[in-house]
Amino acid sequence: MSGVEHAVEIRDLHKSFGELEVLKGIDFSVEPGQVVCVIGPSGSGKSTLLRCVNLLEQPTSGRVVLEGVELTDPDVDLDAARRRVGMVFQQFNLFPHMTVLENVMIAQRRVLKRGKAEAERVARENLEKVGIAEKCDAYPAQLSGGQQQRVAIARALAMNPALMLFDEPTSALDPELVGDVLAVMRKLAEEGMTMLVVTHEMAFARDVADRVVFMDGGVIVEDGQAAQVIGDPQQERTKAFLRRVLDPTHTDV
């Protein structure tokens, strides 16, 4: 052992669905306090990678180590390990029949067994952090998509995760609502949250991420400093992808 503990370490990770090999040997790690953005074309395996990190998917082979705990060890306490990881999806998945406050309290109560007063205090604190304290008593349907996504972020933060995973958190939002959600994520990054973010927001990736990982066809094609991967990519496939996303009218490749 080197004694250096990564927040998350992924070694030779493979994942197949039947005949289809979606992840073909992924290696990378995220250090505590780092923000790593994963970019790449549709179907390249980005969501599958994230889902393997919190074991929503069982890897076919390879290792996922979270804060020194090997998740792929058959004897691991998976529930305990999963509690260390917060996940925010494109879809917010809030309970429609519960208020915002109740949505942020429920997992604290059920999973962490926090008392009502403490769960409520933590919920209010995190709703304040994401800028929607005044919506505590509203129901999800009464909120904009951007507000609902911020509730989903507060809900994840209320569990005190060591690592936050985001899978295209702004892709379902109207363009004018994207900025508020990105601003919350930027603030989290500045506060030192460890984050692994799948995103198509290249400006966010360039400005906020410590590292950018470009995936294509189930492999990591390029991994480096954000400014370098986005501003001066080395691989042809990365260049072609960035041309397409930065200028959608571009039609080569």
Ligand X SMILES: Nc1ncnc2c1ncn2[C@@H]1O[C@H](COP(=O)(O)OP(=O)(O)OP(=O)(O)O)[C@@H](O)[C@H]1O
| List of residues contacting Mg ion (CB under 5 A) | 47
Cβ-count burial 234-247 (b if 16+ within 10 Å, e if not) = eeebbeebbeeeee
Indicate the DSSP class of residue 5.
P
Please name the residues in contact with 49: beta carbons below 8 A apart, sequence gap of 6 or more: 10, 13, 23, 26, 38, 198, 215
Identify which of residues 45 and 140 has a Cβ nearer to ligand X in the complex. Answer: 45
Identify which of residues 51 and 129 has a Cβ nearer to Mg ion in the complex. Answer: 51
Cα diameter, the chain: 58
Residues from 22 through 41 that contact ligand X (CB under 6 A): 22, 40
Beta bridge partners of 198: 38, 167
Identify which of residues 51 and 84 has a Cβ nearer to ligand X in the complex. Answer: 51
**Are residues 197 and 37 in contact, defined by beta-carbon separation less than 8 angstroms?**
yes
Identify which of residues 108 and 199 has a Cβ nearer to Mg ion in the complex. Answer: 199
- Minimum separation from the CB atom of position 250 to ligand X (A): 18
- Minimum separation from the CB atom of position 22 to Mg ion (A): 11
Residue 169 binds which entry of ligand X, Mg ion, none, CB below 5-8 Å type-dependent:
none
Q: From the list 13, 39, 46, 216, which residue makes contact with ligand X (rule: CB under 6 A)? A: 46
> Which residues form the interface with ligand X (CB under 6 A)?
17, 20, 22, 40, 42-48
